[in-house]
A and B are shown apart, each in its own frame.
Chain A
Amino acid sequence: MPTVAPLDLEGHCIAAVFLGDVPHFAMADGAVHRLDHGHKTVQANDGLLAAFHDPANDRLITGGEDGKVFAVKAGSEATELASSARKWITSVAAGPQGAIAYATGKTAFVRFADGKTREFTHPRSVEGLAFSPKGMRFGVARYNGATLHFPAAEGKPVELEWAGAHTGITFSPDGAFLVTTMQENALHGWKLADGKHMRMTGYPGKVKSLSWSVKGKWLASSGAPAAIVWPFSGKDGPMGKAPLELGTRGNAMVTAVACHPSQDVVAVGYDDGMVMAVRFADAKEVLLRRPGKGAITSMMWDKEERRVAFGSAAGDCGVIDITA
């Protein structure tokens, strides 16, 4: 029977992550709380808007209303990596070789590990950022499509067009596919080898959470009364195939998804605060947490595959131990 160690905080949780084996909770007020032999807190942004877990460096990158970008490592103070005067940092991402990217308005910045920064200005706002897992390449979600940049080299970016506003972006773990979330209730994908489009529609709500399963075989998503899980193991991704619908509930919407690090299992968080784990093969469900005060906003599994950290829009965060 899973047990929950609750951590009741104030405000909206932007990201719940493990750094090392310590659960960290980054809140909208910029405080990053951790459960490390007691409850401890460090301050990052004054107003935290975006956070990205950088697994290669075991750190959390944050951006915020104060125009600053911070890195938070387990057990240490927040380190300022960049700052842009008075403008909100609305998106952050981490990439290979210690590079990070952040965006403000129409400009995306890449900061390399040595502190050098490159600037990429777009005709429209940069909505989302993601690095490709291979090579120094990053993608920008924007109005009417996505733009791929190669920040370590000169040369023209690659433009991928699809009408509508694209708000978030992710590469598949093998780098073969690019998927965006949209302002309308849909995902859009491109097969990067040939630019083939993939339309993933039918969601009753906006998709705000995406998670790739082990080896990128599946892409789990929120935005429906079930976790919608698209098959990506074929060479054309999910085209012509139906997604799995896991953890379907009649009276609640899925707001966050987090795939298990090694098994075909997804943690599903709902707008009433409930969390379930669901197996892909047989859709078997295990209740991990009963409904709480607010919608689940973020979840992450630890490396030992034993615990799930979760955060909510109402501040009732915690850690679920599935083995206890």
Chain B
Amino acid sequence: MSDALTQIPVTVLTGYLGAGKTTLLNRILSENHGKRYAVIVNEFGEIGIDNELIVESDEEIYEMNNGCVCCTVRGDLIRVVEGLMRRPGRFDAIVVETTGLADPVPVAQTFFMDDDVRSKTKLDAVVTLVDAKHLPLRLKDSREAEDQIAFADVVVLNKTDLVTPEELAKVEATIRAINPAAKIHRTTRAGVALSEVLDRGAFDLSRALENDPHFLEAHDDHDHHDHDHHDHDGHDHHDHDGHDHHHHAHPSDIHDVTVQSVSLRGGEMDPKKFFPWIEKITQMEGPNILRLKGIIALKGDDERYVIQGVHMIIEGDHQRAWKDGEKHESRLVFIGRELDGERLKKSFDACQAA
């Protein structure tokens, strides 16, 4: 079919008011990176750049009429994306900026649940800006601030110049407690390299985990530091500096954090047990699961299987062949609320191949 065009990548930019979204957006629109972006914003607000491809759109959350409470989409995005995609060739990628209080889930689910949107675009990454100074306050008074971090693929920890090194370490530890799988960049004035936030392929099963060689490595596992961790610009904290020792299988003991993550590790899985299990978990626990990501070693399979999910939506695919000498290990992280870590661990372990 003729509309089998390449899918346009979509970056979702979330973050509380004042965290630096507009600054980052202005950089995306003005820096000379050779790409053209269509930007969907809630209000033109302070974007000082006149660009016909900035579209104002009212956030409009639609519950799908299928009895699933977590199946929500952004109706306005369906309309705007459809309109934009009727004139492709004007832009290379789309950025969706949400309001400070926005729930990122409906935005992300739009790109999985609507057939028209899904056929023409693909979610690239959810990027969350965090104000280093005000995060503790935000976490006290809103669930959204926490959800935005929990849901992020990339966290831009901004305004680091306004806090002491101790405060910064604490804020970063809090972010890690909420979301151990996100990549964190420390910045001032949202000064992150645009290549670190755009075109990440975080939802692209074949790319996501290649971009993140340290995915779900136990943070307290000191003999596990790869030597090939290149491109270290000092902003890219993958916890290999070892200041962060949480036990993610337990709810966080950090004040005001209600999101928890459960990181599971195991050997090779029996596909006959694993798939029904993950299916059942996402059906039953879907409303509590914000994100899940994993690399699964399946018994008798010479390729790595990667899996990711948003609430009840789950996608999986073979990624690549296991390398020679690579340990056939399964790693899976759930980020959500009211997760029973012990039960998840037990039932996950029960899926291991004999």
Which residues of chain A (108-145) have a CB below 8 Å from chain B? 124-125, 127, 143
Q: Which residue of A lies closest to B89 (CB)?
A: A11
> Number of B residues contacting the other chain (C-beta, 8 Å)?
27
- Which of B57, B60, B86, B114 has the most CB atoms of chain A within a 10 A radius of its CB? B86
Complex formed: what's the CA distance from A90 to B66 in Å? 26
Complex formed: what's the CA distance from A164 to B65 in Å? 5
Complex formed: what's the CA distance from A183 to B114 in Å? 8
Residue B116 lies at the interface, judged by CB distance under 8 Å to chain A: yes
Determine whether the beta carbon of B2 is less than 8 Å from that of A47: no
Complex formed: what's the CA distance from A170 to B50 in Å? 37
Determine whether the beta carbon of A11 is less than 8 Å from that of B78: no
Determine whether the beta carbon of B62 is less than 8 Å from that of A143: yes
Q: Which of A14, A86, A90, A182 contacts B65 (CB 8 A)?
A: A182
Residue B64 lies at the interface, judged by CB distance under 8 Å to chain A: yes
Residues of A within 8 A of B75 (CB): 125, 127, 143, 165, 183
Chain B nearest Cβ from A8, distance in angstroms? 13
Chain A nearest Cβ from B191, distance in angstroms? 30
Residues of A within 8 A of B79 (CB): 90, 125, 127
Determine whether the beta carbon of A47 is less than 8 Å from that of B73: no
Determine whether the beta carbon of B62 is less than 8 Å from that of A87: no
Determine whether the beta carbon of B60 is less than 8 Å from that of A143: yes
Residues of B within 8 A of A54 (CB): none
| Given A11-B86, A28-B87, A271-B1: A125 and B60 interface contact (C-beta under 8 Å) | yes
Chain B nearest Cβ from A46, distance in angstroms? 8
Interface 0/1 of A28-39, CB less than 8 Å to B: 110000000000
Interface 0/1 of B35-73, CB less than 8 Å to A: 000000000100000001001111010111110000001
Complex formed: what's the CA distance from A113 to B64 in Å? 39
> Number of A residues contacting the other chain (C-beta, 8 Å)?
34
Q: Which residue of B lies closest to A186 (CB)?
A: B65
Chain A nearest Cβ from B56, distance in angstroms? 6
Complex formed: what's the CA distance from A163 to B87 in Å? 32
Complex formed: what's the CA distance from A295 to B120 in Å? 14
Residues of B within 8 A of A47 (CB): 83, 87
| Given A125-B75, A313-B2: A105 and B58 interface contact (C-beta under 8 Å) | yes
- Which of A29, A127, A183, A271 has the most CB atoms of chain B within a 10 A radius of its CB? A183
Determine whether the beta carbon of B116 is less than 8 Å from that of A183: no
Residue A314 lies at the interface, judged by CB distance under 8 Å to chain B: yes
Chain A nearest Cβ from B121, distance in angstroms? 15
Chain B nearest Cβ from A199, distance in angstroms? 11
Residues of B within 8 A of A293 (CB): 2
Chain A nearest Cβ from B85, distance in angstroms? 9
- Which of B44, B52, B62, B114 has the most CB atoms of chain A within a 10 A radius of its CB? B62
Complex formed: what's the CA distance from A295 to B115 in Å? 15
Residues of B within 8 A of A127 (CB): 75, 79
Chain B nearest Cβ from A9, distance in angstroms? 13
Determine whether the beta carbon of B58 is less than 8 Å from that of A12: no
In the complex, 25 of the A-B residue pairs with CB atoms within 8 angstroms, ordered by the A residue number, are A11-B86, A12-B87, A28-B87, A49-B86, A65-B52, A86-B56, A88-B55, A88-B57, A88-B83, A90-B83, A125-B58, A125-B75, A125-B76, A165-B75, A183-B62, A183-B65, A183-B114, A184-B64, A184-B65, A184-B66, A294-B1, A294-B2, A295-B3, A313-B3, A314-B2
Give the top 9 A-B pairs by smallest Cβ distance, nearest first. A164-B65, A28-B86, A12-B86, A165-B62, A294-B2, A314-B2, A293-B2, A125-B60, A28-B87
